[in-house]
Amino acid sequence: MEDFSRLRIGQGMDVHAFAEGRRLILGGVDVPHTKGLLGHSDADVLAHAISDALLGAVRGGDIGKLFPDTEPAYKDADSLKLLAEVAAYVRAQGYEILDVDSVIAAQAPKLSPYRDAMRENLARAMGLPVESVGVKATTTEHLGFEGREEGISATAVCLCARCC
Ligand SMILES: Nc1ccn([C@@H]2O[C@H](COP(=O)(O)O)[C@@H](O)[C@H]2O)c(=O)n1
Ligand SMILES: C[C@@]1(CO)OP(=O)(O)OP(=O)(O)OC[C@H]1O
């Protein structure tokens, strides 16, 4: 009989605004677009949402607690490296990462051509098989800040299990 009391869910979300002259990094993929996302780090909104989901599962706070945006070390940081640190932290707390799923809300650009590359990058960073990482994209039908192309949001959920 499964011991479901070992299971923990986590949820994360993040938002970054578009800005001229910035790269658009999503799930570690440099997506060609007319503008990118503003942030202290590389502003990888998807990697940040997944990081927060993982931290939520182990009640570890959020990425701002681990990687303060006032810290010069994180200026232009590669968020996949931060995600790898978060995954290591989760395991150090005695948890196994079982499954991760996510959604990017972006009116543009079209992201489906980059979905599998994102899944591979994220899976590698977390030390997971690619089958355990889901990435989806949706427009918001021109509604809200994503729909007005002012920014992009991402949400993520994960399932973790306490090892012992
Ligand atoms: N930035 C995006 C947004 C959406 N997609 C893909 O298009 C499909 C339809 O989107 P709707 O918002 O109209 O439901 C969606 O399921 C994605 O496959 C995309 O590639 N990039
Ligand atoms: C990873 C960090 C580091 O500055 O990235 P930011 O680009 O500041 O992004 P945000 O999602 O606002 O906060 C998370 C930060 O900890």
> Which residues neighbour 53 within 8 Å (Cβ) at sequence distance 6 or greater?
10, 11, 12, 100, 102, 156, 157, 158
**What pLDDT score was predicted for residue 164?**
73
Phi, then psi, of 39 in degrees rounded to 5: -175, 170
The helix, strand and coil proportions of the chain, stated in percent and rounded to the nearest 5, come to 35, 30, 35
- 135-161: per-residue pLDDT in tens? 999 999 999 999 999 999 999 999 999
Binding residues: 14-16, 40-41, 48, 62-64, 67-71, 138-141, 145, 148
Percent of the chain with pLDDT over 70: 99
Our CA angle for 25, 81, 124, nearest 5°, is 85
Considering the segment(s) 4-162 as one domain, its CATH architecture is 2-Layer Sandwich (3.30)
Q: Would you state the pLDDT for residue 1?
A: 64
Distance separating alpha carbons of residues 44 and 100, to the nearest angstrom? 17
Q: Work out the widest C-alpha separation in the chain, in whole angstroms.
A: 55
Give the distance (Å) from ligand 1 centre to CA of residue 155. 15
Q: Which ligand is nearest to the CA of 62?
A: 2
The model's pTM: 0.97
